[in-house]
């Protein structure tokens, strides 16, 4: 769709941390998210993490946007806001076109269902209609090479077989807007080359791609623009080369600062 777009209008996302005492709130936050930690309320006892702050930008047909940033910078949170998983605390997200969030290869996978049954149920989770799934089944059968196993419960599959089942479905969608988090496991080496071609074909079918990754090489190969996030803010958005250069520059500065910081015992003296 030539008129597909995503527009963020001053989007902010806060995560309140409930039930955290003064002694335990740091451990409560551990592993949840990065962002700016704030205290609110009359006695400053309520802990809030600002995961995204005042993001405003627009991406349109043909854009392949890569999101760069360290752990906790806001990449995955931003993807989930675009997908409608998280509601902004403030601001708006306006989209035109069918969204296909691909954060896991097969959302809703049921180990007691057959391969075919999982294709139908998981395909609907991914936004496909029953008719679309029916039309895609022959190509998925050919690609995954699971044969009669497709009529057996998924719990009888090996890990590699399950990867093939899920990957065949995940890459069968025809998205207007594809939201991709890091990529999907592709299984053994023999399967990997075919899987890479199939993934690229799906991306080519999409109008817009938004990819969150720690790999600037992946972003350079798949995207035509990039955004660098730090503590929930976009530091720079523009050509991939410029954004990755700044990403490495700031990462080097952070490493130097950490190396120069005194050890805890020295700081206490």
Q: How many residues does the chain have?
A: 269
Q: Please, are residues 217 and 197 in contact by the beta-carbon 8 Å criterion?
A: no
Q: Give me the pLDDT at residue 29, please.
A: 47
What DSSP element (H or E) covers 101? Answer: strand 99-102
With tokens 């405003």, the residue in question is 56
255: tokens are 């490493």
Same fold, 5-97+216-259 and 102-206: yes
Q: Please, are residues 13 and 231 in contact by the beta-carbon 8 Å criterion?
A: no
pLDDT exceeds cutoff 90 at 257: no
With tokens 């209008």, the residue in question is 9
Q: Alpha carbon of 257 to those of 34, 42, 245, 260: distances in Å?
A: 19, 35, 19, 5
211: tokens are 């990819």
Give the pLDDT band of residue 49 (cuts 50, 70, 90). confident
Domain boundaries, the chain: 5-97+216-259, 102-206
pTM to 2 decimal places: 0.79
**CA-CA distance, 22 to 7, in Å (whole number)?**
39
Q: Give me the pLDDT at residue 254, please.
A: 80
Give the pLDDT band of residue 9 (cuts 50, 70, 90). very high
Q: Beta partners for 153? A: 114
For range 65-69, the mean pLDDT = 95
With a CB cutoff of 8 Å and minimum separation 6, the contacts of 260 are: none
Q: DSSP class of residue 206?
A: -
Domain 5-97+216-259 CATH superfamily: P-loop containing nucleotide triphosphate hydrolases (3.40.50.300)
Q: Please, are residues 49 and 32 in contact by the beta-carbon 8 Å criterion?
A: yes
Q: Beta partners for 238? A: 226
Measured between its terminal Cα atoms, the distance across the chain in Å is 64
Q: What fold is seen in the domain 102-206?
A: Rossmann fold (3.40.50)
With a CB cutoff of 8 Å and minimum separation 6, the contacts of 27 are: none
Rg of the chain on CA atoms, in Å? 21
> pLDDT tens, 160-177?
898 889 889 988 988 899
From 155-159, 193-197, 225-229, the region with the lowest mean pLDDT? 193-197
């Amino acid at each position: 769709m030539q008129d597909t777009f995503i527009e963020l209008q001053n989007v902010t996302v806060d995560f309140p941390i409930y039930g955290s005492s003064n002694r335990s709130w740091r451990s409560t936050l551990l592993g949840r998210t990065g962002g700016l930690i704030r205290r609110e309320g009359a006695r400053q006892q309520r802990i809030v993490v600002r995961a995204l702050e005042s993001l405003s930008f627009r991406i349109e047909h043909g854009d392949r946007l890569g999101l760069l940033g360290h752990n906790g910078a806001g990449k995955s949170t931003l993807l989930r806001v675009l997908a409608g998983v998280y509601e902004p605390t403030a601001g708006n997200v306006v989209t035109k076109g069918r969204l296909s969030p691909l954060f896991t290869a097969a959302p809703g996978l049921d180990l007691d269902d057959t391969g075919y049954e999982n294709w139908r149920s998981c395909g609907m989770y991914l936004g496909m209609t029953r008719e679309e799934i029916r039309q895609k089944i022959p190509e998925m059968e050919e690609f995954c090479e699971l044969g009669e196993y497709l009529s057996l419960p998924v719990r009888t599959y090996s890990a590699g077989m399950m990867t093939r089942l899920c990957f065949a479905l995940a890459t069968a969608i025809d998205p207007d807007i594809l939201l991709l988090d890091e990529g999907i496991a592709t299984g053994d080496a023999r399967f990997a080359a075919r899987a890479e071609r199939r993934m690229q074909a799906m991306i080519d079918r999409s109008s817009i791609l938004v990819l969150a990754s720690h790999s600037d090489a992946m972003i350079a190969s798949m995207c035509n623009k990039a955004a660098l996030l730090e503590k929930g803010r976009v530091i720079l958005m523009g050509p991939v080369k410029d954004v990755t250069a700044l990403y490495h520059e700031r990462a080097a500065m952070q490493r130097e600062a950490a190396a120069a910081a005194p050890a805890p015992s020295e700081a206490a003296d």
